[in-house]
Amino acid sequence: MAESRLHWGDILVIIAYFIAVISVGIISSCRNRGSIGGYFLAGRSMHWVPVGASLFASNIGSGHFVGLAGSGAASGIGIAVFELNAIFILMILGWLFVPVYVAAGVFTMPEYLRKRFGGQRIRIYLSVLALLLYVFTKISADLYSGAIFLTQALPELNLYVAVIILLAVAAIFTIGGGLTAVIWTDFIQTIIMVVGAFILMIMSFIKIGGYEQLQKKFFESYPNTTIQNWDNKNYSYAKCGIPPDNSWHLIRSADDGGLPWPGVMFGLTISSVWYWCSDQVIVQRALAAKNLAHAKAGTLLAGYLKFLPMWLIVFPGMIARVLFPDIVGCADPDECEKYCGSRSGCTNIAYPTLVLELMPAGLRGLMLAVMMSALISSLTSIFNSSSTIFTMDIWRRIHKNASEVELMIVGRLCVIVLVGVGIAWIPIVQNISELFHYIQAITSFLAPPVCAVYVLAIFWKRTNEPGAFWGLMVGLVVGLVRFAWEYSYTNVPCGEEDQDGRPDIISKVHYLHFGILLFGIVFIVTVVVSLLTEPIDEIHLQRLLFWNRFSTLKRTDLSEVEAEAEEQKEPEKDKKGGMVAALSGDGNDYDSLPWYKKGCQWICGIEKMTGEEHQLTDAEMRAIEEKQTSIHEAPWVRRLLNVNAVILLSMTVFVWAFFA
């Protein structure tokens, strides 16, 4: 397709985009670099606007542009329930979960569980599980969806070269600047995404004749092969390629194969609570806010922004099917393979096709920049949060006396390893079909146990470590059994359902319904085991539950008690690894270091750590800690935020009811 090749104006737009974003990354990377709190939590000094934008941008990646638009092209507006449901959960994050995390004074979600339950096995298990989920769902999904767009836009470009370039840019932002650079680049990228997608949405609706025309034409957008099958009385395949009758409904029947309403109302909520309220990538943005009010305002802004994907992504995906029914809506495996290289359908190329066929030179480059922006935004968020989890929850367990300098270097090296794994995983991800539902299914198999444990940890003080651990273990086994069982079968193409050899427990139990069942199992196991074992003393629970978040009583962390016991066994302290010594010299004579060591220290953000300015007194440290763990709000601010939350939720209910 000659029209798929970029004009020189598109190239200029892409170059300008990279210059702008890299400049922001470099400038912001010079702030909050010299400490763990600065690198991983942006010094807890972020304003609500970049926090809200980062929450939105960290969630909306290139996978959404490809996946949401593709699902919209395949089955209508129903997929928008994932975005609308998130608005309710964002309010739960800001009003119920973040106050507890802030009052507890934690960096990571596994760290909260360590304070809540003590021990190491839950924290290590969740840290490893999070890293696996990041690598094999989030990173892989973004790389795959980005590859689809790049393949359509630049057929002459080597795919691996393009992906490696994107990964390298994302890694540079994360390694060099930490969370401050990530949040500010997210802010710029969110603006680019919204503006570019808004322009395409307007052009798409103009092209098709408006909203009412879309409602009419979408149900008529089936490919020529479907018409031919009807004419030839090949009824098994004649139904393939026809949009479903409920394409304009958000709430669908309980036996719907795609989005059954019980699964959407309850199963999706369970997965969403895990993602928005306990996943490190998301919660880390809220914890970076300068205070609780800014964290709540950030979740409100992200909630308002979540109305956009339905209009900016889902509807354009449906328009793409109307404009290009033979390509986007293809149902014949041979035809699909010719158009997009996949025999299972071409709805995933709906958004790229719309961009490349509809937009003029220059704007095509803008939208390609939007795809790059979405991809880099998601990758930078995942890289930063993954390095935080590995450094704070795993490395400190391996090397108990690691210095702050060493932790920051290990965080950077972790990003490099993740980049390597991401590149190595590209060929495997390219063979995955129905990526969006694959990711949601994996989430429903693994997330409900974690969701159950966090809900019980925050709202039920009787929950203890044995109960949480065995609940997680039972949930992991049940989820992995379902996962392995389901994906041991191959997908059956449309028209060949009679050859589906899957048992009813797999074919008829939707993954969202399974998520409800799994949550219930883990909830019951955790409660029963907790009641049968010793409770945790309340002195260890102050400000770790929603009900006592304002407590002023002294808390003795279980983790500190365990640490003291370990120190008695291993009295040596303040060891530094040879790697750090090699990079930092003696730490006292920075000016005499060779240029290459100074450069290495700058990359690792430790050049400021050699001076006297970071030697804080105990009183200063206590003042900083009290400020960062305060959850008190001015009365008028609290009322303003509550009113906005009610308005936002009312708008969400109206939209849901309007399209029900």
> What is the pLDDT, as a whole number, of residue 596?
57
Q: Over 90: is that where the pLDDT of 36 sits?
A: no
User: What tokens appear for 363 in the block?
Assistant: 């704007």
Segments in 491-616 forming alpha helices (H): 504-507, 511-532, 558-569, 578-584, 595-604
* DSSP code for 110: H
Tell me the pLDDT tens digit for each residue of 196-224. Answer: 889 899 999 999 999 999 999 999 888 88
Are 21 and 172 in contact, with CB atoms under 8 Å apart? no
Report the residue count for the chain.
Answer: 660
3-state secondary structure of 422: helix
CB atoms within 10 A of CB 8: 10
- For the residues 10-33, what does the mean pLDDT come to? 68
Q: Over 70: is that where the pLDDT of 363 sits?
A: yes
Segments in 209-279 forming alpha helices (H): 211-218, 224-231, 235-238, 261-262, 268-278
pLDDT classification of 39: cutoffs 50, 70, 90:
very low
- For the residues 597-603, what does the mean pLDDT come to? 56
CB atoms within 10 A of CB 435: 20
Give the best-scoring range by mean pLDDT among 137-146, 370-379, 606-615: 137-146
> What is the pLDDT, as a whole number, of residue 408?
75
Q: Which residue has the higher pLDDT, 363 or 92?
A: 92
Tell me the pLDDT tens digit for each residue of 47-73. Answer: 888 888 888 877 876 678 888 888 899
> What is the pLDDT, as a whole number, of residue 360?
83
pLDDT classification of 569: cutoffs 50, 70, 90:
low
Pick from 380, 313, 372, 373: which is nearest to 348 by CA?
313
- For the residues 13-24, what does the mean pLDDT come to? 72
State the chain's mean pLDDT as an integer.
78
Distance, CA of 27 to CA of 188 (rounded, Å)? 13
Residue with the two structure tokens 């601010």: 637
Which of 316-325, 386-395, 438-447, 532-541 shows the lowest per-residue confidence on average (mean pLDDT)? 386-395
Tell me the pLDDT tens digit for each residue of 317-346. Answer: 999 999 998 888 888 777 777 777 677 778
Q: Which domains does the chain have, with CATH numbers?
A: 2-28+39-432+627-658 (1.20.1730.10)
3-state secondary structure of 109: helix
State which amino acid sits at residue 375: L
Q: Over 90: is that where the pLDDT of 263 sits?
A: yes
